[in-house]
Amino acid sequence: MSKAILAVAVAIGLYNLPLASCGARQVVVDTGHTAESPGAIGPNGHREFDLNRQFTVALSKALKAQGLDVIDVAAQGSPASLQARTKASGKAALFVSIHHDSMQQAWLDAGRSREFSGYALFVSASKPYYARSLECAKSISRKLLAMGEHPSLYHATPITGENRPLLDRQLGIHRFDDLVVLKTAESPALLIEIGVLANPDQEARLASPQFATQAANAIASGIFQCLPAAP
């Protein structure tokens, strides 16, 4: 499908399939990376996977408190493959992958690690349910803004390894069609970078259970508001 046709289809709703066949109040929560391949490492040694897991546990609890059903794909150990993470998404209302951000190595080498902070959200415009994914990303971002957070925006920098188009600059939402967990999800889907772990001024806060609980409650509230009403 060409970009022009896709844009028209989204605009008139032809590419935003109904959720009648999905679990209207079921959310799949993915913990990014694994214990063996933990992702980014903060300047003070915090591993991304550990912070991701702390956050998904808090998010699962917050979602359940909102009356939503939760599938925690890391509850029995993180799946080895990215595709396995989205296996349960076919009947879900939303798939959410949780991460904590690094940054370009050249920026780190240049001593720029303190320049970047904040959260980022990613959705794919190449899949069905794009409009619902974008709606949920907006709802989540508004809740994070309300708790005093801000979007990072640096993933839109026009360089190799970044260059993710901004769909909404104010809300920090990017388009990333080739992100595997978004590309293979069979439901509305988004990925959230909770904050920039590579920033030494942010690391301790991101590792705090209190922050994880507060931000997880905000994200859960945003998810609750964007999902279809219970029948």
CATH number at residue 107: 3.40.630.40
Task: Give the pLDDT confidence of 169-199 residue by residue, as tens digits.
Answer: 999 999 999 999 999 999 999 999 999 999 9
Q: Tell me which amino acid residue 94 is.
A: L
- Structural domain boundaries enclosing 151: 35-226
Asked if the structure places residue 14 within a domain, the reply is no
Task: Give the pLDDT confidence of 113-171 residue by residue, as tens digits.
Answer: 999 999 999 999 998 899 999 999 999 999 999 999 999 999 999 999 999 999 999 99
Asked if the structure places residue 189 within a domain, the reply is yes
pLDDT of residue 177: 96
Asked if the structure places residue 24 within a domain, the reply is no
Domain tally, the chain: 1
In a 13 Å sphere around the CA of 108, the CA atoms on its Cβ side amount to 14
Asked if the structure places residue 102 within a domain, the reply is yes
pTM given for the model: 0.88
Average pLDDT, the chain: 89
Q: Which residue has the higher pLDDT, 6 or 58?
A: 58
Report the distance separating Cα 43 and Cα 113, nearest Å: 10
pLDDT band at 81 (very low <50, low <70, confident <90, very high): confident
Asked if the structure places residue 185 within a domain, the reply is yes
Asked if the structure places residue 11 within a domain, the reply is no
Asked if the structure places residue 120 within a domain, the reply is yes
- Rounded to an integer, the average pLDDT of 83-108 is 94
